[in-house]
Every structure is written in structure tokens, then in C-alpha cells.
Structure 1
Amino acid sequence: MAELKPINWAYPFPSKDTSNNPLQLLTHMAQAKGGFYPTGDNGLWHGGVHFDEGTAAAFDQSSVRCIADGEVIAYRIDKRYPVSEFTDEIPRVKRAPFSTGFVLVKHRLQPPPLRNADGSIAESPPPPSLTLYSLYMHLLDWAGYQAQPNLPHPAFWGTSRCTVNTQNQGLSVRASPNKNAAKLSELSRGAEIVVGETQGEFSKLVSLISGTAQPALASDDKGQLPGYVFTSLLKPQSEPAEYDRVVVLDNGLPIKAGDLIGHPGLYQNHDSAAQHMVHVELFSCDDVPGFIARSRAWASRLPDDQKTLLKVYKGASKLIAHREGINAGNPPKLSDKGTQVGVDLIIPQALLDGLPASHKIQVTIPAEGSTPASTSTWWRLDGLFADDNGNPIDGWLAEQELITTRHSPWEWEGFQCIEETGTPVEKLAYSFNAKGLLSAEEQQNYRVQISNADGGPLTTIARLYDIVDANKDGTLTSREIRAALAKPWHAHMLGQLVTKYESEWFWSRSKWDELDPLLAEEPGTPNLVWQEEKQRIEKLSWWGDLAGRHGISNDRKAWHLHSIATVGHFLYASRLIDVDRFIDEYTCQHEQFAANTPAFSPASKTNLRIIVELINKYYERAPEKSNLFELAYMFATARHEAYYFPSGEFFSSKPEVGSIAYFNKYDPVLAATQEHRDRAMENGNTQEGDGYKYRGRGLVHLTWKNNYRKAEDHFDIPFVTQPEQAAEPEHSVPIMIWGMKEGIFTGKKLSNYINPNGVDYLEARRIINGTDQRQRIAGYAQKFEAILRKTSSAKETFVP
């Protein structure tokens, strides 16, 4: 990860609530059966959150997704779940399976660079950076994958075994890793092969497991087949390198936000039924308080358009209850009667942008004397705020100068760092005592530990107890934590706590043995359940395998962040479009785009994901801005032009159109009419075969040799000699954006039809080739505009 750049974010499980309100998503975690952040009802710290049967109604928990761009550095997969044997009072032996499978991903978090007025990156020290790790614990065992053969496998297990994944034809085997190299053979569609190292876009062919090669290929003296195959036309059939042990990768394997991590595994405690569950944790071994201080200083130099968070202060703003008649023509007034907001809350701008039109009102205040005209905004916000007594309140909120403030996510506004000062036995003794579970003798025996806990950890986490401890008894119960999480204002504050303590994934026998007397049912009699639980804790541990490697600390301590709150905090800060939400919205509306539309296939969904990711990537690097309407029309054009008819795939990953016969009319020699021959010459097609060679490729069907040359000059990629590259996604997306904005195809630009004077989706078709299908495409654009309003941070304003 030598190159530092903004990373993308994604939730580990898609929300079933299509609004994806990041504050409401936090409240869904209250439904978990256990495993809350930052502490459990046993008084011990808990750095992760659990997705289990309790949260299944709110999230699609069929597969676990990576929460941010990074690299996989370690994993473990159980061949079969290990089993703990607990004996109950009857006595009866209870066999409880528990998954030790996990994946650990390393990330690098860094604010965006400062830019000069022309959009170039300013020459200054690099932004501060922080190494983060995301942990996905309790994953499916290998037996579970074998029982479900169609279940997708994580790519990082290993990709040496693959299936030829072409549409209709076979796959060419080239003599060297080059598209123009001699063809040695052709592998049949569906053939299973083993490949070796990759070189550019190709992988070295090693062996043929099943299927055919025509003509047959002869193995060399090492038993390997000759030739190279195109990597993107291979489907990996990955399997873990090893089972039942921690696999530490010397060199991390790249993984993107939203990529497959695995699937929920089984976990059963001694006092509950088995359930599918995943523990998701986010932590850092760096100096997090120091990074936050540097990040805040850096954020003070970032432009105002990166202040994507609105802070509402307790006791400052008021909500004006909605009443019949409030609309754009009759907006609320600051003088209206309302209820004062009783809690601090930070609201992402994306949440405000995604509100329905009826919930957003802009009021223009005319100029008076020397005071210029201004615009104020009202939002109708329901279910987010409480009054001074903690009672929920709904209504209209106005953004007011000095009363509400704007912040960059990199300011870490409201975050508080807490460092652990106690030990497990002190916290557990204090918790037991507060719950009345200690006898008089035990209270005497543990008076020192109870006293230390009362004066130590409780003092340092006083803010946490103020938020959660409803009955003020000095201890937390799962009921209190769940009740607090159900309220957006409390869930938000808990999500801003950053806590440092020794990781639960480091095994220390002495630390856990110290709890033996406290957990003994009778003095001198071992607690058999606890003894079995300690064996389970040891099997779950992995920290010792990584200590001192990949930046994992040797002192076993780490700063823990709320994984879901952190995703919500940064999700809209670094991405123009929230990819997962966009895919979900389009999938839901797919059939509305056209009558008798085929089902939205997995291949089409994958193609669309690639396009959205590449659009995000383009605008991360581009100095110019985009807006909602331009993006909507780009997607509409891609939706129309990139439909691959033979397979029925929408947003084809490598769209091309037309046959040789069709493009012969644009050939300087083969065209049937002099008019077509003249047009071919005018557009640079001067050699026989140029008509088909420079045929329409990519999302907007780049056509004519002159246009291929323009693209080559702009992107410094040899499109003229290698025109097939124009169909590759990493090229066709930038060509679409550049070409439509700069008027490359017809001389007409997006800004001719989408500008401060209006948005004309109908006439915008002239950017590509005229007026054909313009009504259909304009309809697509309107639908994409609605989707982008919910899923994108793109502005509705225009930049000159």
C-alpha cells in the first residue's frame, strides 16, 4: 500500500431499509442478541458489534463484505467448527459449535490532499495517515462451503484454479502475454485450468484439469503447459491454503470496499441456541489521539465544500412541528413555536440530500440595504432528535449561521478517546457487586478490586455511563445498552467513543485464570463451564500469530472504533456515489426502466458495479466537479448504449456494436456509396478495414479513427494501434466522461444542455449522434436522477 489515496467504504451487510440513513442504521444494532459496542453487560470492554439473528430483519446477512479498501493480511478457516462440551445441572452434555474463522484486513486512512486553485495537488507535506484493521470473526467453516457448492468463495484464498468463463466461444491461448501474440490453442468454455503468475492482463497457463484444448498442448519438462490466457475471462475456483490455523500473508492481497469476505458462521454459547453470527471490529495500533489532532489541523485547510457534516447543538436549535400547509410557498419561520433540541447530533449532508422533495424547503431572503440576498434551508427531520427530557421530537430544522455548524469528517467532531486503566478481574468484581451477585465474604475478599474499579475505569468512562446507565447504579446491563442504541442521539454518541485496551484476541492464561475464584460456584470448586470457556477463548485467539507483523503491536493493546459508525462517518466523504446503495436502488427499479425488461442478472449487476466504481475513481482524481444531472445523463447513455444483446447483459463490461457488414459502410474502400466513403475519409478512416477496426466500442461507442486518435492523445494510451482497449472498462468510463463533457463525438457538450439555465435531457442526445431514441434515454436519465439523489453526494449546483 505504497500509494496513499482516499479509500472507499461500504457496510459489511446491506441494509434492507433502502434509505440507508446512517443514524438509523446505528439503531438497528440495538436488535442484536449480544455483542454491543463498547462494553458488554459483564463489565468488560467489547470492541466489535455482532450481526446475528436479532439484526437479520434489518440487514441482508447472506454474505460478509469488506468495509473499506485495503489488503487482506491474515485469515483462518475451520475445516469443521470446533465444539465445546458444557455440562448442565441435569447433568446433560451440551455440544456447542463455535466458529474461529476470521479475516483481518489492513487499511490506510488519510485525508484528501490540499489543492491549488487550478485543481492540481499542492506541494506540501503529505496528509497525516492512520493504519486501521478491520476484523470479521466467526465465519463459515469449509464444511459449510462444501455443503453449498454454489456459494461464492473469497478471492483471497487463492486463485490458481480457474474456470474458463467466456460467453459462447472458447478462450485463446497466446504464445506470450500479448493480445497480438500467436495463438497456440483454444480452451473450451467451462474448462478447468490451473494458472501461475500474472503478467499485465494475462495469466500463465500451467495445466488443464478438465475440458479440451484444440489443438492439444504438450507439457514441458516441468509438467506445465505453454501459453498465456486473458485473466478477466477466468472465474477463480479458490480454496483456502490451509485449515484450522492462522494464515499470515507476507504480502497483503488487495481487496476493495464491498468485496466478499466470507459468510456468517455458527456460534453457540453455553446458555443459548446456536445461531449464525459475525463479529465486526475496527481497531488501530497507531497513536489514534495524535492522528485525530493532526487530522483536525489538516481539515482546517480543506475547502468548505468538503464540510459534509451538519452539527446541531443541544439547547441552540428548535424543531417546528409539521402542520398542514407548510410547503415551499409557505415555509416555517424561526419565530414559529417549536421545541428546543435537547441533544447534540451530527447529520451527514447525504442524509439531508436524500430527503424527499417535500421535506426540503429553500427560502430566499431578499437584499436589504447593504445586506446581500441570502438563502436558508429547512429540513423536515423525523425520528432523530429528543428534547431536554429525552422525549423524541420531530419537525422542521433550519440551518442557521452560528447556531448550526459545518464540519469535515476529518475534524472528528465529537469523538472522544478513552484509555483503559483497569483489569478484567476489577471490572468483573465491580459488575458482580453492583448486581448483588457477591456474598459478604466475596465482597470482603474483592474490596480492593471493587475499589480500584470504582475509582479507575468508571471515572475514565464517566461519559459512557452518563449516556447509557439509565438507573445510575454504576454498571451497565445489556438492556440498558440496547435501550440506548435504539435512540439515534445516544447511538451516535456511543459511536464516537474510541477506546484503548488489551485485545480480547490475545491469549493470556494468567489474565483469565485470575477470574477463576470469582467465577467459582463454591470456594475451591472449579466452574466447569468457565474452564471450557477459557479453552474456547484460547482457540479463538490470533493476536500472538501476528504480533510484530503488519504493524500489529507487541503490547497487545489497540484503539477500538465503532465499525458501523465509522463507515457511516466516512462513507460519503470520499465517494461521489455510494456503490452498494446505488446497486440496490437500481436493482429495485430495474423493471421500471423499460417494458418487458429481462431480469437483472448477476453479470449485469457486476458490470454496473464496475462502472460506478470507475466513475468514483475518475472524479477522485479529476480537478473538475460533476453534478447530479450530468451523472444521471451519463448513466442513461450507458444504460442504452451498453446493452449486450447476445447475452442479455445490461451495462456490458466490454460493449461493442455492429458487424463487419454494418461498419463496411464507414470504410473508405468497402463502403457502398461515395457519400459514405467521403465521410469515412473525413473522420480518419483511410485504410481498407478501418471501418470495422475503429467500430463503436465502450459505453458511448467511440467510433472513427480520428476519435480514437483524440482519445489516445488525451489519455496517452495507444488506442489507434490497439483499438480494442477502448472497450476495456478502465478506459471506456473515462472516455465517456471526457467525451461527453468536451464534445468529442459531435461537437456538442453536456454543458450545452445541462447548465444553470436548465436541464434538457431530451436534446442532450445530440452529444452522441443526434436524436434517435432520445425520448427513451431522457426517461432513463430521470430515473437515474432519482436514484442518485438517494445515493450520491453530487451537487445540484453548477460549477462554471
Structure 2
Amino acid sequence: MASLFSQFFDLFSSDRKAPTYVSDSSVLRTPETPPAQPQAPVPASTAKLQPLKNWSHPFKDKNPPLLQLTQLAKAASGYYPLGRNGLWHGGVHFDSGTAGTQEQSSVHCLADGEVVAYRIDKHSPTTAYFVNTLTVQKPFSRNFVLVRHRLEAPKIEGSTDIPPSLTFYSLYMHLQDWADYQSDPAIARPAFWPEGQTRRVKATVKDVVPGHPGQQGLNVRNQAQRGKVLALLPRGAEVTVSGEGDYRKLENTTGPDVLKSADGSLLGYLSINFLEPIAEGEYQVKGNPSLNVRAEASASSTIITTLPNGTEVTISGEGEFRKLERVNQYVHFKSLEGAREPIADRIVVLDQPIAIKAADLIGHIGLYQDSGAERPEEKLHLEVFSGDNVETFIKDSRDWADLMPATDKTWLKLAKGTTVVTHQVSFSATQPPTLSEASTPSDADLLVPKSLLDGLPAEKKIVIPATAERKACNWYRLEGLLHDANNTLLDGWVREEVGVTPTPWVNPWSWEGYDTIFNYDTPRQALASFLRAANRFSEDQLERHGALADASDKGPMKSRLYDIIDRDRDGKMTAEELQAAINLPAHAQSLSQLIIHYESEWHYKPQKWDALDEVLGHSGSTPHLNWLAEKERIKQMSWWDEVATKVGLPAHGQVYHIHPVGMSGLFARSSERQLITLAMLKKAKPSLTDAYCETILPFLNKYARLYEINTPIRVAHLLAQVGHESGFKVREENLRYTAVRMRQIFGCRNNQSGYNSSTDECIALPRLRPKLWSEPGVYAHNAVSLGSYVYANRNGNGDEASQEG
């Protein structure tokens, strides 16, 4: 939970008298309680959910997966699986601390899936905390989006067996308020929001005001048929319209801006002598060609503007000059697009989930202010969880991975104790490192993605071919990935032996290094452990709460965490130690490989939080007002009871939590390799060597994903066409023509014989490409510019600008 006691020192007071001890037995289940099974039937739509193909970082971070993990150490709070307060934390935070590492202006979907629920308040609620003797209202965004996904192992060629699959959910918490979107129409809106009554002027409209060609927008006219222009609406302007037909009436305004006063009412008076009644209170201008709008009810008054003949107006008053109340305005309906608007101020569970793709817009980070913070900050809480039996899924996935081809092993395992040879400037292909050189053993397992190793510069890779005396091996110089027993990052060379058994390469579907842990720690036990480690207990409190702290420290989750991050082996775990551990790639990866079965933070049970009263010193005689306010905030942020059973999650709230960035990093690269495989390429052209196929496969898959070549028939067409046109060899179309030859070949569309070479003219004028005559210097000898112009707007291509580059 984003703020759940992130400022615990503000809530805790060691001099408060504690009430009677309360048992923990009713708060969470115990180790003796078997894992509860999901109580809700799986919605029918889940069975139809297609397996995801693509992954994305929530901020489209393109850094290597290990760096994405270590960057999370920069977060001000909210680590996985413990927050700074020592309590359970099922997700990760992106906040002011991580803002310097990536662009956090918009939040994007983690993987292909479907939106099943959301909440967007118009204005976020606030909590009244006591600061000294005053109360301060501090906002907390409780806006969220919940997306359901289906992860399925790739099919094995030639097998009819059904691959293992898992339904999981990604949660994006503390998003921007609806009022922020309303105040700034330029903010992009998620596509899963429904279309509201409001519409928006398209960004492609090109109407201009005479004399102001740089101001493009949409003309506002005085009539629905053959209307004259009254004003110009800028691109992106939001409007509401009524009626039918090509031109529809504007309803969100009473008239052109030129006639509006400061309070929005219309200025001006019209002569009744030039108006024709059309309805009660409504008239049509019959001026020739226009009617003056005057500042006062007098023929000698200043003219503000004119209204064209046929303009529809509403007037009031008596006498010759009547007060102008409204001017009807019309706009071209097809130049508008629906403006997306959420159903605000309540939790929305979609009857029909809405498909969403990886990297699609989820929303924008909202504001959140912790109890002890001086000001609000932008903060995203991101988590992933599943109500399925993840243990069984991982076991089945590991068995499945054993059947998959070796080319799907995309992570190199460097086991603890791997020799890291200290770098020497003399190392080269002719003088490679050896294991007898000065070296340091690594102190933790680390999986390194193949993409990172492939991307190393040439001077950091040494390939040693096999000979009669030695086996082939590869040396990689890795900087800042492995660490020693003192948690010092190493810079050195590691060796990969080629062809050894078992191979050090692993398949992501093997879930190498992943552990499933059932956490029985109660919040009260976790809090006692944290406060004891932080030396916040008095002697009396240590005696009262020591048993609680011991129970937490000896539990399965804490025991595993101590194995990873207790640097000084003092049996204590602090936020600083956790943050320092995430800075080390191997430890950050180990933490991300913990799958923890525990109750969701968003499942509200009052007795769970009331059980903390004693540790925090709250009682009826000594009330802790900020703690009472915090419990109310927790209640308001919860959503599980209103959503869970409707979307296929268990009502009891106990689910398997998975590190979101670790999971996406594990599979993102592997999913990129699934569209076109080595076997497919060899089938298309058997003469290609495996080594050459491995070289070009990343590029084929890159563009297959980019252009959605993602079905068997599309892949077959692509391979057939590429094989026919290039033989899978590098080819480039030569478009570097002289000006004369360029116009001869491309100047007339369809290559017509309308070109006169003696006069350098195109005879077939209707099919002339005029730019090739008027701007030959731009296109001659310029393959990119010429290709962009010639092939634009053909065969589904975009315009010229979209083709360049």
C-alpha cells in the first residue's frame, strides 16, 4: 500500500500506555491452515482471453531487465516485499526517487490483456492528520486500473499437448483524478474509457483563419447548410453537439468568443427589423449580406461584429434593438472524435472487459501525501498477483521447458562462486583471460539475459574457438553486475563454456531461481519486528512485544529475506538494508524471484488493523488520532470486496504475488523470439546456416512485431516474400537517381509513357508528381526522401512525413 505507515515514526509513540494484549489468531491464517482455494467461479470471458504476446515496462523503459530492477532502489518507499515500515508490500513504487531514471509522465500496460475494473474519482479524498496542534488535509489518490492477463507457454512444434497457462492481474494504483483531465484537454485519455457526450476537435483538421495560416483548427459556421464561418475551434478543443447530419449544433457555448463577456454571457444588440421569427424566442438574420451587432440598443452605438445572413439567434427584450442571448453555431461532425470520459466517483467493474495491449495507455500518476510528508508527490503503486495455483503452474512450466528447443534458452546462469577475472588492458582475442589470473568469486547467483550479452561491444566479448586440445568458450566482460562477499560490485571477465552438460543457459519458462513462499506473518508481528530492529521499543515494550517480533523474524518469508539481505548478519532487517540490496543486481533479482502467497493489501478487514492498536499505543484512554485517521484511509482505498468475485479473484483475498518488473523482464525478451523461429527460417530456406539464422532472427522478429506479423499465415507470407525478393540476404533498393532520371521513372504515376525526354516534361499532367519537378534538389540522389514521396499513401502506407526515417 503506497503510504501504509510509510511514516510510521510519526504514528508511533513509545510513551503511550498499551491496552490488553489481543490474540492474532483471527487476523490471518496460520501455517497449519491449508491454502484456501478461490471461491469465485472464473468468469466466462477469462476462458476466451487470448495468451499475451507482448510485454512492456510501465514507463516504456528500454533499459536491460537487471537495470530496471536496480532502479527500483531509488524509490523513496514501497519496495517488494516489504515497505519502509517493515510491513508487507505486495508491489513496487515509482515516485520522486525513480523519476530521475525514466520518463514517468504516463503509465502503460504491463502486457496484453483486458481491463476488468477501475476507479477514477473526480477529486481524490483527503485525510485530516494532526500536525502539532493543527489538522492538515492530505490528499491520497485511490484511483486504480485492474487488468487481467493470460500467460501461456509457447506451443511445441509437432506436439498436440496444451501448454501450461496462468491467469494473472496487474494493478496500477494512485492514478490521476478526472478533474486533471478536464482542466487540460491535451492530456491523453485511456482508450478503455467510454465515450462521453463530449467530443473533441480532431488533430488532423486543417481549417485556417484568413490571414493566420499558422492557426489551424475547425471552422464554426452559422448554419447547418452552406453556412458562413463565424469562428475557429483549435485542435483538441472539447465540445458537445446535438442534432443529426454532417453539421451539428454546438451546445456547450452560447456564441462566438468575440461576443462573450467576462462572465460568459453574450454582449450586443440586434435590430428586430432584420430578423425573421423561426421559433419561440428564436430568429434568423435577414441582413444583406450581414447584420451589425451593436454594443448598445442604439443605431448609433459601436459595432462589435457582424452576423452573416441566415444566422440563428435568440434575443430578449422589447423595442427595435433586442438583447442578444445566443448565437447558434454549427461544426462538421466528422471532424470531431469522441472524448473519452470515465464513469467517475465509483468503482466500475466492466460487464464486458475491454482488450488492451502491452504499452497501451493506462493513465497518469496521481498525487499522494503520506501522513508525515510536507507536500503531495506523484506516486504509482504497481503489482501483479494471481488467484490460480501458481505452484502447480511453475512445476508444469518447468516440465514444459524441458521439451522446448535449446534456442529458447535466453538467460545465462552465473552461479554463486563464478570466477570473475580482474580486467587487464592486455586481454584480447589473441591473449584472452585465463582462470589462473587474479580473480574474485561472485557471492550470489545471477541470470544474465542473452540480449545483454549480445549487445556488449566487441572489446568486451572474446570468442575462443574449439581445438583438439580445448573446448570452445566465450568470455564476457561484465561491469557492475556481479558482487563479492562484501557486496562490492565487480568489473571483470566471466567464462561461458560452450557445449557443456548441463548447459548454463536456461529457459525463462524454467522459472530458474524462483521460490514460492506462504507468508503467515501478521501485520502486528511484522510491525513489532520492524520497531525492534529500528530500536523504537522501550525495555517494557521489548518484553511485551518481543514474542511477536520473534514470530515474524522466524517466519518463512523473513527467513528467506534474511538469507538475501541481512548484510551484517545481526538478525535485523531495516529499510536501508533492503534498499541497499536492491542496488545489487543479483540481490534485486533474487528478491524479484520470490512469489509470495499472502492476503492482498486491498482486502479490508478492520480486525487486522485494529490488532495494531496495542503496538502503536492506541487505546480508549490514550487515543492515537493520526492512527485512527490512517485506518480510515486504508478503508477508503480498499476495493477487493467490490471487485474480486466479479473478475475471478478469491473473496478471501489470499493470492500469489509476483514482482511485476521481474516478471516482465523475464519474459519480455523471450516473447520477442516466438513469432519467427529458427525452424521456420530453416524451413523457408534450408541452405541457411544456423549461425546466420541466429544473426538475422532478431531483426526479422523485431519488424514482425512492429507490423503485427503475428499469425501463421502472416508469418508464412513474410518469409515467402523476403525469401523471394532477397534470399534472406542484405539488399537495398537503389533510389539514388539524377533529377532527369528520377522524373523519367517516377514523375508520372503508374510509369506512364507521358514523359518527353527531349523537353524533360510530363505529358500526362493529371498524373504528374509535381514535387519532382518543382523541388528536384530535395529528391535527386536522396533515396530516403524519394522513397518516402513515391511510396506514400499507397498500399496502406501513411503520408510522406510518416515514411521518412
How much has 1:396 moved relative to structure 2? 1.2
Specify the alignment match of 1:591 in structure 2: none
Match of 1:666 among 751, 755, 771: 751
Match of 2:407 in 1: 305
Secondary structure in 1 matching 2:451: helix
Structure 1 residues 425 and 294, CA, compared in 2 at 3 Å: closer, same or farther? Answer: same
After the TM superposition, which residues 212-611 of structure 1 pair with which residues of structure 2 at under 5 Å, given as runs?
A: 236-242=338-344, 244-273=345-374, 274-315=376-417, 317-367=418-468, 375-400=472-497, 401-402=500-501, 405-439=504-538, 441-443=540-542, 445-446=544-545, 449-450=548-549, 452-455=551-554, 458-520=555-617, 524-575=621-672
Distance 1:155 1:480 in 2: 41
Task: Give 1:147-158 correspondences, 5 Å limit.
Answer: 147-158=183-194
CA distance in 1: counterparts of 2:702 and 2:351, whole angstroms: 32
- Offset, 1:446: 4.5
Alpha-carbon contact 1:577-1:616 (below 8 Å) kept:
no
3-state SS in 2 of match to 1:351:
helix
Number of residue equivalences = 609
Alignment of 1:68-79 (within 5 A): 68-79=111-122
Which residue of the partner structure matches residue 182 of structure 2? 146
Between 1:516-525 and 1:463-472, the stretch displaced more is 516-525
- Which amino acid letter does the alignment assign opposite residue 455 of structure 2? G
Any idea what SS the aligned residue of 1:399 has?
A: strand
Superposed CA offset, 1:462-502 (max 9, x none): 12112122344444221111111111111110011111111
- Paired residue secondary structure (1:350): helix
- In structure 2, the CA distance between the partners of 1:507 and 1:5, relative to structure 1 (3 Å rule), is closer
**Offset of residue 103 of structure 1:** 1.2
Shift of 1:137: 0.8
How far 1:80 moved relative to its partner? 1.4
Check conservation: 1:6, 1:112, Cα contact below 8 A. Answer: no
Larger radius of gyration: 2
CA–CA separation in structure 2 for the residues paired with 1:385 and 1:527: 46
Query: In 2, distance between residues paired with 1:271 and 1:144?
Result: 25
- Structure 1 unaligned blocks of 5 or more: 116-121, 171-186, 197-203, 217-224, 579-609, 642-656, 674-688, 693-697, 709-722, 737-776, 781-800
Say if 1:725 and 1:525 are closer, same or farther in 2 by CA, change over 3 A.
Answer: farther
**Aligned counterparts of 2:541 and 2:341: Cα–Cα separation in 1:** 52
- Three-state SS of the structure 2 residue aligned to 1:572 is helix
SS of the residue 1:155 aligns to: coil
User: Aligned partners of 2:614 and 2:69: how far apart in 1?
Assistant: 38
The residue identity in structure 1 corresponding to 2:512 is: E
SS at 1:489 equivalent: helix
Asked if 1 retains the 8 angstrom alpha-carbon contact of 2:530 and 2:574, the reply is: no
Bigger fraction of residues in strand: 2
Note the alpha carbon deviations across 1:398-430, whole angstroms, 9 max, x for none: 112358611111110000111112322232234
1:163 and 2:187 equivalent?
no
1:615 maps onto 2:706 in alignment: yes
Unaligned runs of 5+ in 2: 1-44, 209-231, 254-309, 311-329, 676-700, 737-741, 758-765, 770-783
In structure 2, what is the Cα distance between the partners aligned to 1:354 and 1:520? 56
Deviation at 1:726, TM superposition (A): 2.5
- Is the deviation greater in 253-262 or in 3-12? 3-12
SS for the counterpart of 2:77 is coil
Q: Corresponding residue for 2:274?
A: none
Q: CA deviation at 1:562?
A: 1.0
Q: Which residue of 2 aligns with 1:36?
A: 79
- Which position in structure 2 is the counterpart of 1:676? none
The answer to whether the Cα contact below 8 Å between 1:499 and 1:559 also exists between their aligned partners in 2 is yes
Tell me the residue number matched to 1:114: 156
CA contact (8 A) 2:745 2:751 kept: no
Task: Report the Cα offset of residue 153 of structure 1.
Answer: 1.7
Report the equivalent of 1:102.
144
Whether contact under 8 Å (2:77, 2:84) holds in the other structure is no
Partner of 1:58: 101
3-state SS of 2:87 partner: coil
Match in the other structure for 2:35: none
Distance 1:465 1:454, change over 3 A: closer
| Cα distance in structure 2, aligned partners of 1:41 and 1:576 | 38
1:703 deviates by 14
**What is the CA-CA distance between 1:620 and the residue it aligns to?**
7.0
Contact 1:312 1:404 in 2 (8 A): no
TM-score by length of 1: 0.66
What is the percentage of aligned positions where both structures have the same residue?
37
- 1:761-780 aligned within 5 A: none
Q: Is the 8 A contact 1:516 1:526 kept in 2?
A: no
CA deviation string 1:733-786 (max 9, x = no partner): 9xx9xxxxxxxxxxxxxxxxxxxxxxxxxxxxxxxxxxxxxxxx9xx8xxxxxx
In structure 1, give the amino acid aligned to 2:56.
A
Conserved 8 A contact 1:53-1:277:
yes
Question: Using a 3 Å threshold, how does the CA distance of structure 1 residues 489 and 113 change in structure 2: closer, same or farther?
Answer: same
Q: Give a deviation string over 1:639-666, Cα, whole Å, max 9, x none.
A: x99xxxxxxxxxxxxxxx9999944563
Residues 470, 189 of structure 1: alpha-carbon distance in 2 compared, 3 angstrom cutoff: closer
Q: Is the 8 A contact 1:320 1:336 kept in 2?
A: yes
Deviation at 1:728, TM superposition (A): 5.6
- Root-mean-square deviation (CA, aligned residues, Å) is 4.9
